[in-house]
């Protein structure tokens, strides 16, 4: 081999041109390979609001990436967040602009990346997500849509506006609908979506993070709040808004002053509820406001109370059960899927303070609490753990991709 050095520009240029000429050979003889991972585009509107279903979406994206898939999240930009961000093995795109500009951007974005994704998973029924689903269909990709809040679909299907009519057309053609609860599945059916298209995949909880505390840890956490070991701590953790029905809980507490009641969370009703508590002259009620680390409260409490009147699929209940808390909840859709009377706790009719106080009295002295606690943890481990739900989603994806017929092909067949 000779020692070589390009001494002038012409020689250098010749060398580069030679390389380019040789490079043409790389076009040919490419081996065929099979795809080993799904590349999923997740559309999550208003990601940074970080409500229940946004968090679920982020966790699911992380879990899917961990199990070997390529995940990008597409969201609209609210607030000062970077437009392109890597997180835990997936990529977040935040598209700026609003209304028409945003939709136009979304179209350009998805169309220019049509080769980079196999499947689209849309969360929620808002303008952003429905339009994204429509573009996904136009690009010939399988689309899954997850509806997580009650009445979202029904509102679209019962309203007469031009926008609703457009959305209805799009929604009726989506091949895979995901319902988080039995009740949402029924709602979809009543909107005219065939049952064969509906898959029920509930929400999940990370049962490794939300675990049953050791007795020592529980003691330490309770000491922090000055609660003795024998006192029964009732915990209500949710966003304080009208539909959560916390005022019924306060009324029930008036009938039943035993143990301590912790109310964790903030929201529009916080001041009203505090006033109500004062008005009813309640004792042993503590308001904690919004807390960033809810785990500590779950692990310190004894019984979880959930008086809500309307839910899609309550994540807090799932978290409480994962921490092994017996639950008292109103029997509403979403709750009855995962909580059975006398197996993991007690069910009461929604908006009924008397029944609620009766149930709390029962839970306070009942020896069944241990059994309920074990039952709650077991239910979560068996059905609602993140690993199981991720597997269910992967299963759905494989069905969606295999059963997918491109719109153009469908046209040819008929």
Partner 1 sequence: MARILHLISQLGEGGAQRQLSLVASQSIHEVEIASLIASPEEELFPFFRNCSIPLHYLSHSSDFYAPEILPALKKLIMDRSYSLIHCWMNQSIIQGLVAARLSGIPCLSSPRNVLESLDYYTARFWEKRLFRKSVQRSDLVVFPSFTVAIDFVDSGWVEPARTRVVYNGVDEIEFQPGFSGEAIVAVGRIAAEKAPEDLEETAQQIHKQMPGIRFIVAGGGNPPPSKSIEFVGRVDDIRQILRQAAVVIHTSRFEGMSNALLEAQSMGIPVIARRNGANTETVVDGVTGILADTNDELARACVALLTDQEMRNQMGAMARKRILSGFTIAGQVKKNEALYNELL
Q: Contact residues for partner 1 (CB under 8 A)? A: 1-6, 15-16, 18-20, 22-23, 25-31, 33-37, 39, 65, 68, 70-72, 86-91, 113, 115-118
Query: Rounded to the nearest whole angstrom, what is the least distance from the CB of residue 323 to partner 1 in the complex?
Result: 18
From residue 168, how far is each of 12, 106, 194, 224, 414 by CA, in Å?
Answer: 62, 20, 14, 52, 23
Residue with tokens 């241990």: 370
Angle 172-176-178 from CA coordinates, rounded to 5°: 105
Residue number, 80 or 412, with CB nearest to partner 1: 80
Residue number, 22 or 100, with CB nearest to partner 1: 22
Residue number, 109 or 288, with CB nearest to partner 1: 109
Cβ-based neighbour number of residue 303 at 10 Å: 26
CA-derived radius of gyration, the chain? 27
Query: Rounded to the nearest whole angstrom, what is the least distance from the CB of residue 284 to partner 1 in the complex?
Result: 34
Query: Rounded to the nearest whole angstrom, what is the least distance from the CB of residue 372 to partner 1 in the complex?
Result: 31
Residue number, 116 or 283, with CB nearest to partner 1: 116
Host H or E run for residue 300: helix 295-300
Residue number, 29 or 414, with CB nearest to partner 1: 29
Cβ-based neighbour number of residue 327 at 10 Å: 27
Query: Rounded to the nearest whole angstrom, what is the least distance from the CB of residue 23 to partner 1 in the complex?
Result: 6
Residue number, 292 or 410, with CB nearest to partner 1: 292
Query: Rounded to the nearest whole angstrom, what is the least distance from the CB of residue 316 to partner 1 in the complex?
Result: 22
Structure tokens at 302: 């004894």
Query: Rounded to the nearest whole angstrom, what is the least distance from the CB of residue 25 to partner 1 in the complex?
Result: 5
Mark out the alpha helices in 67-176 (DSSP H runs): 99-112, 127-138, 152-158, 162-172
Angle 106-177-380 from CA coordinates, rounded to 5°: 110
């Amino acid at each position: 081999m000779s020692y070589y050095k390009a001494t002038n520009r012409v020689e250098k240029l010749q060398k580069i041109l030679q390389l380019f000429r040789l490079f043409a050979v790389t076009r040919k003889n490419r081996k065929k390979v099979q795809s080993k991972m799904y590349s999923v585009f997740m559309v999550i509107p208003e990601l940074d609001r970080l409500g229940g279903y946004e968090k679920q979406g982020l966790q699911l994206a992380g879990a899917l990436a961990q199990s070997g898939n390529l995940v990008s999240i597409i969201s609209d930009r609210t607030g000062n967040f970077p437009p392109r961000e890597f997180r835990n093995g997936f990529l977040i795109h935040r598209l700026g602009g609003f209304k028409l500009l945003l939709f136009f951007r979304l179209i350009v974005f998805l169309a220019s990346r049509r080769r980079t994704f196999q499947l689209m998973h849309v969360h929620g029924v808002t303008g952003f997500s429905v339009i994204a689903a429509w573009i996904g269909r136009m690009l010939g990709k399988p689309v899954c849509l997850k509806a997580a809040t009650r009445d979202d679909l029904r509102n679209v299907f019962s309203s007469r506006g031009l926008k609703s009519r457009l959305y209805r057309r799009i929604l009726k053609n989506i091949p895979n609908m995901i319902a988080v609860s039995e009740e949402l599945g029924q709602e979809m059916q009543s909107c005219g979506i065939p049952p064969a298209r509906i898959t029920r995949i509930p929400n999940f909880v990370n049962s490794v993070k939300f675990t049953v505390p050791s007795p020592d840890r529980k003691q330490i956490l309770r000491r922090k709040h000055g609660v003795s070991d024998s006192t029964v701590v009732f915990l209500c953790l949710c966003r304080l808004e009208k539909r959560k029905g916390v005022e019924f809980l306060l009324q029930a507490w008036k009938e039943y002053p035993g143990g301590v009641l912790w109310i964790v969370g903030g929201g529009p009703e916080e001041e009203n509820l505090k006033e109500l508590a004062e008005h009813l002259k309640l004792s042993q009620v503590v308001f904690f406001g919004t807390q960033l680390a809810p785990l500590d409260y779950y692990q310190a409490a004894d019984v979880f109370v959930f008086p809500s009147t309307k839910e899609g699929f309550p994540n807090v209940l799932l978290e409480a059960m994962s921490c092994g808390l017996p639950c008292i909840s109103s029997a509403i859709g979403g709750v009855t899927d995962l909580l059975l009377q006398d197996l993991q706790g007690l069910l009461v009719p929604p908006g009924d303070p008397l029944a609620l106080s009766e149930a709390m009295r029962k839970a306070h002295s009942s020896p069944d609490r241990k059994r309920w606690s074990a039952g709650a943890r077991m239910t979560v481990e068996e059905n609602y753990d993140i690993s199981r739900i991720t597997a269910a989603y992967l299963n759905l994806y494989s069905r969606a991709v295999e059963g997918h017929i491109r719109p153009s092909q469908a046209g040819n067949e008929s």
